[in-house]
Structure 1
Amino acid sequence: MAFAHHKGGTGKTTSCLNVAGFLQKKGRSVLVIDLDPQANATSGLGIDPHALPLSVYDLFMSRFEGFPDVSFQDVVLETRSGVYLAPSTLDLVGVEPFLYNIENRAKVLKNLLTRDRPEYEFILIDTPPSMGQLVINGLVAAEHTVVTFDRGIFALHGLDTLMTIFADIEELLGEHVSPDMAILTRWDNPEQELRRGVLARFADHFKKPDPELARDKEQLRVFEREVRDRFPAVFVVPYSREIYEAQNAGLPISHFAPECDAGRAYRAVAGKILGWNG
Structure 2
Amino acid sequence: MSKVIAICNQKGGVGKTTTAANLGAALALEGKRVLAIDMDPQADLSTCLGFNRTDALDVTVAEMMTRAINEEKFDWRDGLLESKDGIYLLPSNLDLSAMEMNLVGTMNRERVLKGYVDKVKNNFDFVIIDCMPSLGMITINALSAADSVIIPVQAHYLPAKGMEQLLKTVGKVQKFVNPELKVDGVLMTLVDARTTFAAEVPEMIHQMYPKMRIFQNQIPMRIKAAETPAVGVSIFGYEPKSDVAAAYRGLAKEVIRDAAREKAKVHSRECR
Distance 1:70 1:227, change over 3 A: farther
- How big is each residue's C-alpha offset from its partner over 1:28-77, in whole Å with a ceiling of 9 and x where there is no partner? 11110001101000000001223322111111122445x98655421111
Per the alignment, in what secondary structure is the counterpart of residue 181 of structure 1? strand
Alpha-carbon distance in structure 1 between the residues aligned to 2:252 and 2:199:
29
Alpha-carbon distance in structure 2 between the residues aligned to 1:227 and 1:260:
32
Report the equivalent of 1:223: 204
Alpha-carbon distance in structure 1 between the residues aligned to 2:249 and 2:205:
20
Report the equivalent of 2:240: 258
List runs of 5+ in structure 1 lacking aligned partners: 194-213
- Asked if structure 1 preserves the Cα contact closer than 8 Å seen for 2:189 and 2:221, the reply is yes
Report the equivalent of 2:213: 232
The residue type equivalent to 1:57 in the other structure is A
TM superposition score normalised by structure 2: 0.85
Alpha-carbon distance in structure 2 between the residues aligned to 1:114 and 1:68:
14
Among candidates 55, 64, 82, match of residue 86 of structure 2 = 82
Report the equivalent of 1:196: none
The residue type equivalent to 1:232 in the other structure is R
Per the alignment, in what secondary structure is the counterpart of residue 8 of structure 1? coil
Alpha-carbon distance in structure 2 between the residues aligned to 1:53 and 1:122:
25
Report the equivalent of 1:206: none
Q: State, as a whole percentage, how many aligned pairs show the same letter.
A: 27
- Asked if structure 2 preserves the Cα contact closer than 8 Å seen for 1:80 and 1:251, the reply is yes
Among candidates 28, 38, 59, match of residue 34 of structure 1 = 38
Alpha-carbon distance in structure 1 between the residues aligned to 2:78 and 2:178:
31
Report the equivalent of 1:147: 151
Answer yes or no: is 1:160 the counterpart of 2:164: yes
Distance 1:167 1:16, change over 3 A: same
- Asked if structure 2 preserves the Cα contact closer than 8 Å seen for 1:54 and 1:74, the reply is yes
Structure possessing the higher radius of gyration over alpha carbons: 1
What is the CA-CA distance between 1:140 and the residue it aligns to?
1.2
Deviating more after overlay: 148-157 vs 99-108: 148-157
Report the equivalent of 1:271: 253
Answer yes or no: is 1:246 the counterpart of 2:211: no
Distance 1:32 1:78, change over 3 A: same
Report the equivalent of 1:205: none
Alpha-carbon distance in structure 2 between the residues aligned to 1:228 and 1:259:
34
Alpha-carbon distance in structure 1 between the residues aligned to 2:198 and 2:45:
31
Among candidates 186, 198, 203, match of residue 190 of structure 2 = 186
What is the CA-CA distance between 1:109 and the residue it aligns to?
1.1
Answer yes or no: is 1:51 the counterpart of 2:56: yes
What is the CA-CA distance between 1:222 and the residue it aligns to?
3.8
Alpha-carbon distance in structure 2 between the residues aligned to 1:83 and 1:218:
34
- Asked if structure 2 preserves the Cα contact closer than 8 Å seen for 1:7 and 1:154, the reply is no
Distance 1:218 1:64, change over 3 A: closer
Distance 1:117 1:18, change over 3 A: closer
TM superposition score normalised by structure 1: 0.83
